[in-house]
Amino acid sequence: MSLFSKHESTITKAIAALHTRTFFAAFPEHPAPAVYGETADVDGQAKFKSQLGKKFEELKQQQADAWIGVEESPYTQEPLGISYPSFTVDTLITNAKAAYHVWRKVSAEDRAGILTESLERIKARFFEIAYATMHTTGQGYMMAFQASGPHAADRALEAIASGYEELKRFPSTTLWDKPMGKFNIQLNKEWRAVPKGVSVIIGCSTFPTWNTVPGVYASLITGNPVIVKPHPGAVLPIAIVVAEIQKVLEENKLDSNICQLAVDTFDKTITKQLAEHADIKLIDFTGNSPFGSYLESLPGKTVFTEKTGVNSVILDSVADADKVAANLAFSLALYSGQMCTAPQNFYIPASGIKTANGNLSFDEFAQKLVDNINGLVDNPKAGPFVLGTIQNKSTCTRIAEAEKLPGKVWLKSRSVENPMFKNARINTPVIVEVDASSKDVFSKELFGPIALLIKTKDTNHSIQLAQEMALHHGAISCGAYTTDAAVREKIGDEMAMAATPVSFNLVGGIYMNQNAGFSDFHVTGGNPSGNASFTNPEFVVKRFTWVGHREPVASV
């Protein structure tokens, strides 16, 4: 049985989910022993620990120039000591160009089967990947498992399904028969989906698989060889993914260099050299706006970016202020605000927020938010695990600087103890009240657990500022709370015009930070926060070109 036949049902269901946009998950998100096995967690942790201080030798890439690695755990603040094979840019591209002519001729069915099989292999390593993610990004265990494991695999499957559907949208051959009166003109026509060429995927430090695999699998399903360039501080999670892809390729007698890992270090990066190389045709990037804009400016490249943005929360009226404050406090604390979808600017009218029990003043809501954050982070069974740790030391500096911003500091950042890791780098959220006229303060992303409470004239002013930030500085998410249908429509319409999705009136266990595979488009590509979206048709169709040939039908 072919791998496509083996996985056809999963691929078919995934394509259907793309159209219905209802809940679909091929990979269960809860690390339950009943799903993944009684010893899966213990085995995964042991496998991770066994890799520390050693060479990562699972990759099928041969003749490395050196072995390098600079990862450090934000939980222990000690090096992982793992080294990876490194190669020159010319070697990587030479290998990819040779692999291109093999991979482009593999059928869409076989590509889809091979890639979906690789996800099944990766599934068997979700727990190992979770610990690798914890100790490179600083995410809490549950987020590390879900985001780097099942959620990432679902996003990868989404790219496979979307790419496969687009490749099968048109027939490969047809008889073209045009009546001309006494005779017909007949042509045999054929169409080929031609991959654009070598693809580079540039990873980030906070979500090394979730943000990386959509581009990897979108390029691979459309026939392009891939070079994965991870962030130097977060290599292991995606190295495991690449290793499993290579193994399945080799098992199917294909060149393992169809997907390569390209590791570098902080003091000797290869990202620009790769991106500017004439043979690189496709680039995927997640990271800061200046570098993303530089990549977008490179001539002769098709570039897909997710950059920085300024995410807003518009507070107009609420059904239950306590539930709203609890929801937003969790959103701020989750992975210490180190998510591209985390809220930053909270727009609150000077007159306060309307509730079922009367008006809630600006100060009263600010205090509710403070109290909820303190209650969460001081809970030893929840706080340290929701917060995770700070991935990059520069984020700690940014948090300290936020407390010096002009305006009232409602909540200072502090550290709480993680009972499992005494040296964990932890900073709780900081909350600062900022005047609405201080646009220079709140018109940029302050990455990390930083919240700005902005006192506006009224809700219309709040909407205006939120839209302005999105249009000029980008936004990936927006939260809004209103019990007024007309206000809801205005917020939805104004933010849609700024290409920003809105999460309305979220309370309970769903947060504006979260995006669901097969349903939510992650980033719209319509404002400065990025030019691409996980996963709309454009995310895959721009990776190949339809080319048609035609020839007269031979006379009998």
Model pLDDT for residues 298-320, shown as the tens digit of each residue = 999 999 999 999 999 999 999 99
pLDDT of residue 556: 61
Amino acid at 356: A
Looking only at the bridges linking them, the beta strands covering 66-68 and 84-86 are antiparallel
Distance in Å from the first CA to the final CA of the chain: 39
Handedness of CA 33, 34, 38, 40 (dihedral sign): negative
pLDDT of residue 144: 98
CA pair distance 368, 362, nearest whole angstrom: 10
CA pair distance 334, 338, nearest whole angstrom: 8
CA pair distance 57, 130, nearest whole angstrom: 19
- Please tell me the number of Cα atoms within 13 Å of 232 on its side-chain side: 15
Residues 53 and 78: beta-carbon distance below 8 Å? no
Weakly modelled stretches of the chain, pLDDT under 50: none
Closest CA to 390 of 136, 220, 118, 31: 136
Question: Cis omega (within 30 of 0) on the bond before 535?
Answer: yes
pLDDT of residue 393: 94
Looking only at the bridges linking them, the beta strands covering 450-456 and 430-435 are parallel
pTM of the model: 0.96
Number of Cβ within a 10 Å radius of residue 330: 18
Looking only at the bridges linking them, the beta strands covering 450-456 and 478-481 are unpaired
DSSP string, 150-174: HHHHHHHHHHHHHHHHHHTSS-SEE
Closest CA to 108 of 547, 549, 544: 544
CA pair distance 2, 16, nearest whole angstrom: 22
H/E segment holding residue 226: strand 226-229
Residues making up the chain, counted from first to last: 556
Residues 273 and 245: beta-carbon distance below 8 Å? no
Strand partners, 135: none
Strand partners, 55: 83
The domains located in the chain, with CATH, are 10-308+533-547 (3.40.605.10), 312-504 (3.40.309.10)
Closest CA to 113 of 215, 189, 221, 202: 221
pLDDT of residue 263: 98
CA pair distance 39, 33, nearest whole angstrom: 7
pLDDT of residue 1: 74
3-state helix, strand, coil in the chain (%, to 5): 40, 20, 40
CA pair distance 364, 185, nearest whole angstrom: 78
Closest CA to 214 of 128, 204, 437: 204
